[in-house]
Structure 1
Amino acid sequence: MKENNIQDLKLGILGGGQLGRMFIQSAMDYNIDVHILDPDPDAPCKNVATSFTVGKLTDYDTVMKFGKDCDILTIEIENVNTEALRALEKEGVRVFPQPDIIELIKDKRTQKSFYRDHDIPTADFTLVDSKTDIAKLGKFPSVNKLGKEGYDGRGVQVLRTASDIDKAFDVPGLIEDLVDFEKELAVIVARNERGECRTFPVVEMVFHPEANLVEYLFAPADVSAEIAKKADEIARNVIDRLGMVGLLAVEMFLTRDGDILVNEVAPRPHNSGHQTIEGNITSQYEQHLRSIFNLPLGDTSSRAKAAMVNLLGEEGHTGPAFYEGLEKVSAISGVHVHLYGKKLTKPFRKMGHVTIEENDMELLIEKVQFVKEHLKVISNV
């Protein structure tokens, strides 16, 4: 790649949701045009992309047709046709993360096996093909995860006793030990083609008890320097072992015994990095761009203590979205609202997020609670 010539390269993204939308906002700073493929004709990227193509991400011919005119291809979601991406690579299109890595990560069975094969700490697990396998195993309490297509809390079931077998998935997946954890942590790490690697400070996530997705998080996490260093080293080790180019979110459990176990990874910008837009010198979106264009990676230092609150559609509300309490929340110092351009809300749908910068931890917690209590995504219909 010629120096200072990245503006001449055509960048394509498979997926046009909120992650793509926020990535485009970073790409604009570099005069990079972004072309989107997404199956939803009203996806959040529709009105901000240079071009927007409606098509199925798992269809070989659709991905080939879209990708053949691109110089660089990346993803916003793992459920894409990796066979087409491999074929495009052979035709000279640069694909990041690499297709084989997407293929490995999008199946939790191969992802978890990779950890075991490379001595990366993770919860003990057994591969299963059906409910019958799970019943024969008789391992309770445990967590049953789908091999493929689990996303945003879907595809995970906690089986506490044998009576929960009916909740299990009757398709290939895995049974994992139920970890007695103290905190759920995440580290976002980026790596470019030169092998340069940078991490963001470890964050602490709090999950919604019903939706099983991140409700809010704090950055940096309230952990010791030793634990933060260990989490950082694990994240670097994972991306190095993969040999991956791009951005990788590494979700981990901090056990009550002080061990750190990798839960799962996402090879793209991630919910656990939204706060970096305001909270860090370089955002996760700019860092992803830097990594796939083989630019020097940016400074990931924190500007301040920060929090992120996901805006989820309220239970009992389906229809045109209305943001109740927006004026109240916008009046609070350090609060930044990010809405995703989704016209329709439904229960637990990710509709936006709020980042909060505040160096006083007690005040930060108070502001998180204020946002959670006062900003609601409802439908007036």
Structure 2
Amino acid sequence: MQFFSSDFKLGILGGGQLGKMMLYETRKWDIYTKVMDASPEAPCKIACNEFVEGSLMDFDAVYNFGKDVDVLTIEIENVNLDAMEKLEHEGITVYPPTKTLRTIQNKATQKLFYTDHGIPTSSFTRFAYTSEIEDSISNGGLQLPFVWKSAQFGYDGQGVKVVRKMDDLKGLPNVECIAENLVDFKNELAVIVARSSTGEIKTYPVVEMEFHPEANQVEYVICPARIDDAVAQKAKDVALKVSEHMKHVGLLAVELFQTHNDEILVNEVAPRPHNSGHYSIEASYTNQFEQHIRAILGLPLGKTDSKVAGIMVNLVGAEGHTGDVVYENIASILEMDGVTPHIYGKRQTRPFRKMGHVTIVDEDMTRAREVAQKVKETIKVMTNK
């Protein structure tokens, strides 16, 4: 099939920053794109060929959107899978396949998948409702502390809470959920696996993630991870095992824990371009967004090696600021060598909302990390108060 400067149409469900960065690549290659998002001000709107406003969870909206595309992909996994499955049965190519998405979309199903396939992960208990947890603790079935996760619709740190005492359960939504054993880890790592529709597979280097203690969001992504080669290989092997059994097409971001005994445990996965791969735009031979396009179109996968060390700093809304966004001191970070800001196009900020990211590249990892710290301390995502 001819993809470039042709009648081929790629459909993307979700119009946020991941879709916007995917569109950098489709525009580079002149691939016709159609995007759907619920927000009339979605970041993707200005860069796609067609934009449709509609709910990603609405059956009719998703089905009608996908009927005239040749390949349908996602930038967020919270989508109506029944509609996508119907499109699949009617001959539309859907990547990742709905079977993969059904496994991943529900965190309880995802965890059961790991245990069923001998993939190392933390122990967990599944609950139909959050309200059942208190009884389980009282009867000795569950012990504090643990990590509460909503089974569905969690995203960007939402739907996750560390429960250390009974009072921490207050205010949690009464939904299907899991309670995971709290892992005493040394590092949080991630591996992105690219799997083409032709079966070709490549992995990106292992990255290290540093999280914000309150927002449960990544603050820094460091590539390569500052770990031993043997641990890095073990992390890649686990990620490849997940990929093999998931049978995804496109990217699979596998988030991992490295324990103090250097065990590797799977935390969770995302079947799409991921925050842990943003560094690749500046630092890699083939960035993750181009790789996703290559994979779902069955094109040869690109080289995944890094050209230089890369660190990604997330730009999130400052606490106490809600409203029209103002990026303070952005000129100051542009004076720093190897610094590239990415602004996602969201006019409204709120506390901890992802508004952009900054990539720092350098031949020397220590120097890159020092610059990343300066960037984090300098640029602020505020409002005019």
Say yes or no: TM over 0.5. Answer: yes
Which TM-score tier does this pair reach, normalised by the shorter chain?
over 0.9
Residue 282 of structure 1, aligned match among 280, 286, 292: 286
1:80 corresponds to: 79
- Structure 1: gaps (5+ residues): none
Asked if 2 retains the 8 angstrom alpha-carbon contact of 1:7 and 1:30, the reply is no
1:102 corresponds to: 101
Deviations 1:57-97 (A, max 9, x none): 11111111110010000001111111111111112110000
Which letter does structure 1 place at the counterpart of 2:121? Answer: T
Whole-angstrom CA distance in 1 between matches of 2:173 and 2:57: 22
Determine helix, strand or coil for the equivalent of 1:45: helix
Asked if 2 retains the 8 angstrom alpha-carbon contact of 1:356 and 1:367, the reply is yes
2:64 corresponds to: 65
Whole-angstrom CA distance in 2 between matches of 1:131 and 1:355: 39
Give the deviation of 1:162 after TM superposition.
Answer: 3.2
Which letter does structure 1 place at the counterpart of 2:18? Answer: L
TM-score, normalisation: structure 2: 0.96
Determine helix, strand or coil for the equivalent of 1:46: helix
1:258 aligns with 2:257: no
Which letter does structure 1 place at the counterpart of 2:268? Answer: E
1:240 corresponds to: 244
Determine helix, strand or coil for the equivalent of 1:258: coil
Asked if 1 retains the 8 angstrom alpha-carbon contact of 2:325 and 2:349, the reply is yes
Distance 1:123 1:169, change over 3 A: farther
1:153 aligns with 2:157: yes
Whole-angstrom CA distance in 2 between matches of 1:47 and 1:331: 28
Asked if 1 retains the 8 angstrom alpha-carbon contact of 2:194 and 2:202, the reply is yes
Deviations 1:179-215 (A, max 9, x none): 0001100000110122110010000001111111111
1:300 corresponds to: 304
Residue 195 of structure 1, aligned match among 173, 196, 199: 199
Determine helix, strand or coil for the equivalent of 1:262: strand
Whole-angstrom CA distance in 1 between matches of 2:320 and 2:82: 40
Residue 183 of structure 1, aligned match among 174, 187, 196: 187
Give the deviation of 1:263 after TM superposition.
Answer: 0.2
Whole-angstrom CA distance in 1 between matches of 2:335 and 2:314: 18
Whole-angstrom CA distance in 1 between matches of 2:169 and 2:350: 29
Which letter does structure 1 place at the counterpart of 2:238? Answer: I
Asked if 1 retains the 8 angstrom alpha-carbon contact of 2:209 and 2:222, the reply is yes
Whole-angstrom CA distance in 1 between matches of 2:276 and 2:233: 18
- Structure 2: gaps (5+ residues): 138-142
Determine helix, strand or coil for the equivalent of 1:119: coil
TM-score, normalisation: structure 1: 0.97
1:228 corresponds to: 232
Asked if 2 retains the 8 angstrom alpha-carbon contact of 1:144 and 1:169, the reply is no
Which letter does structure 2 place at the counterpart of 1:378? Answer: M
Asked if 2 retains the 8 angstrom alpha-carbon contact of 1:159 and 1:168, the reply is no
1:123 corresponds to: 122
Deviations 1:214-235 (A, max 9, x none): 1111101000000110111111
Whole-angstrom CA distance in 2 between matches of 1:167 and 1:122: 27
Deviations 1:326-348 (A, max 9, x none): 11100111001110011111111
1:211 aligns with 2:210: no
1:37 corresponds to: 36
Determine helix, strand or coil for the equivalent of 1:252: strand
Whole-angstrom CA distance in 2 between matches of 1:352 and 1:163: 34
1:18 corresponds to: 17
Whole-angstrom CA distance in 2 between matches of 1:167 and 1:234: 36
Aligned-residue Cα RMSD (Å) equals: 1.3
Determine helix, strand or coil for the equivalent of 2:231: helix
Distance 1:180 1:299, change over 3 A: same
Deviations 1:263-310 (A, max 9, x none): 000000000000000110000000000000000111000010110000
Which letter does structure 2 place at the counterpart of 1:380? Answer: N
